[in-house]
Amino acid sequence: MPFPWLSAAILFPIAAALVIPFIPDAGDGKRVRWYALGVTLTTFLLTVGGYLNGYDPAVEGLQLVERVSWLPKLGLAWSVGADGLSMPLILLTSFITSLAALAAWPVTFKPKLFYFLLLAMDGGQIAVFAVQDMLLFFLAWELELLPVYLLLAIWGGKKRQYAATKFILYTAGSSLFILVVGLAMAFYGGGAPTFEYADLMAKDFSTKFQLFAYAGLLIAFGVKLPIVPLHTWLPDAHGEATAPVHMLLAGILLKMGGYALLRFNVQLLPEGHAQFAPLLVVLGVVNIIYAALTSFAQRNLKRKIAYSSISHMGFVLIGIGSFSALGTSGAMLQMISHGLIGASLFFLVGATYDRTHTLQLDEMGGVGQSMRKMFALWTICCLASLALPGMSGFVSELMVFTGFVTSEAYSLSFRIVMAALAAVGVILTPIYLLSMLREIFFGKENVELASHTHLVDAEPREIYVVSCLLVPIVGIGLYPRIMTDTYRSSIEALVQRETTALARVIQPQPGSLIRQPLLTAPVLPV
């Protein structure tokens, strides 16, 4: 019997978290933090072990499958596995969580509870990407909410209670759509209910049912992505979070929404996707432009980077709605790239705040001479975020643009207009990021920081964390196939499924209830 890599990666950090209360500690968290770091690194090695020993990127289907009947009367089974849609994000989750544990080194307030929640999140987030049962997915989705709420409410800033409450209201409220749609899909057609993805894919859902289910899931996953106007929880959450929580929010949490759109909306509801895809493209463009303009106007450093994250996730929406293997692959790469870049930027935000004790750009300035290493790290990460050639962000955004513009599913005029509007956001990104750099490090000198005697440059631990993130950022930028080959076959199979569904919707068979797409203007026959 092969080793259960995925089950171990899910259950090990959760079980290890239960041991934390019994670790003898003087209250400063020194032993607990080493324990947590060891657990997260072991979890990362488990995911890497699964990738190296049981995952073949050339296979489009499910691999590393582990299934145990759990509650057969409810149709619930412990079913986990990985394919090209999930394996890269499983690796990303365990990688960033291990770095977040190292980033949490300065935490001394209730360290046992902090690391308990961190480890619980690790297992829960891996489960979101690995489970192959929709009810189990819902449980994993909910398991992740409570740790984030507590991490915000206890270790956040002055408005932490407001930010945490807003987060839980948005995300818990929207997740009810997952439960309702999941139950509807499981009981659809009569017979014994089934929640497993493979069984749901085999069901012949009517087009009307797919439209309603797609709309409900779009709301649920749109909150987590986040899609404007369902985004307002994110700037508040980022505005109050600590550096390691920032890394988990930007690096992993937002990717759950993009992954779920691919897994459920596109894979399980292809005819619904065929009619909603133009809306995804429009929403993606709105995300890019609106969030870029809002980020440009922000004077709070955390909120500026938070809106930048929302803007970058707009490319994911465009890629998902492109009906193109290149565009969809670019959306996947954008999620991975942004996970790495967003985690690095927010880690630097926390490190800078620890030194300056302010997040207002008007109160910073002139610290470049005192923190030269920090300035260098900030510059490299900002260049990655603005999609400098040679960095992962450039490749992913270029793939999305090219895939969408060359897609035959949309009229030429629609493609030109959407691409031109999205380009506005691309132009704004370097402006607000580089101006932010100038204000922080070479802006008008703050009188209170004039001496800079208390400002400490980047420490070895901080350089190491950022370097670990920069290595894959540059590696993917120089040789994208190191990542795209891990999911190419799965993406091609997914696009084939959605284009086949598009052909059925555009050119219905006699007797079909659907004569034309829901959004007819931009769509042409395939």
Q: How confident is the model at residue 468 (pLDDT cuts 50, 70, 90)?
A: very high
What pLDDT shows up at residue 503? 84
Supply 65's token pair: 């499958």
3-state secondary structure 431-454: HHHHHHHHHHHHCCCCHHHCCCCC
- How far apart, in whole angstroms, are the C-alpha atoms of residue 415 and residue 405? 6
Q: Which residues contact 173 (CB under 8 A, 6 or more apart)?
A: none
Report, as an integer, the average pLDDT of 441-459.
71
Q: Tell me the CA distances in angstroms from 251 to 141, 245, 246, 281, one per residue in order.
A: 16, 10, 8, 23
Nearest to 236 by CA among 306, 311, 332: 306
Q: How confident is the model at residue 443 (pLDDT cuts 50, 70, 90)?
A: confident
- How far apart, in whole angstroms, are the C-alpha atoms of residue 170 and residue 173? 5
Q: Which residues contact 202 (CB under 8 A, 6 or more apart)?
A: none
- How far apart, in whole angstroms, are the C-alpha atoms of residue 518 and residue 208? 11
What pLDDT shows up at residue 377? 95
pLDDT digits (tens, 9 = 90+) for 381-397: 999 999 999 999 999 99
Q: How confident is the model at residue 1 (pLDDT cuts 50, 70, 90)?
A: low
Nearest to 35 by CA among 46, 24, 45, 44: 24
DSSP string, 368-422: TTT-HHHHHHHHHHHHHHTT-TTSHHHHHHHHHHHHHHT-TTB-HHHHHHHHHHH
**Residues 100/114, Cβ–Cβ less than 8 Å:** no
pLDDT digits (tens, 9 = 90+) for 276-293: 999 999 999 999 999 999
What pLDDT shows up at residue 75? 67
- How far apart, in whole angstroms, are the C-alpha atoms of residue 103 and residue 526? 49
pLDDT digits (tens, 9 = 90+) for 128-158: 999 999 999 999 999 888 999 999 999 988 8
What pLDDT shows up at residue 518? 37
Q: Is pLDDT of 222 > 70?
A: yes
- How far apart, in whole angstroms, are the C-alpha atoms of residue 70 and residue 358? 51
- Report which DSSP code applies to 252: I
- How far apart, in whole angstroms, are the C-alpha atoms of residue 285 and residue 315? 8
- Tell which wins on pLDDT, 132 or 518: 132
Q: What percent of the chain has pLDDT over 90?
A: 71
Partners of 94 in the β-ladder: none
Q: Is pLDDT of 88 > 60?
A: yes
Nearest to 310 by CA among 401, 404, 236, 384: 236
**Residues 120/221, Cβ–Cβ less than 8 Å:** no
Q: Is pLDDT of 305 > 50?
A: yes
Q: Is pLDDT of 213 > 90?
A: yes
Q: Which residues contact 337 (CB under 8 A, 6 or more apart)?
A: 392, 393, 395, 396, 473, 476
- How far apart, in whole angstroms, are the C-alpha atoms of residue 424 and residue 118? 38
**Residues 320/261, Cβ–Cβ less than 8 Å:** yes
Supply 46's token pair: 């488990």
- Report which DSSP code applies to 77: E
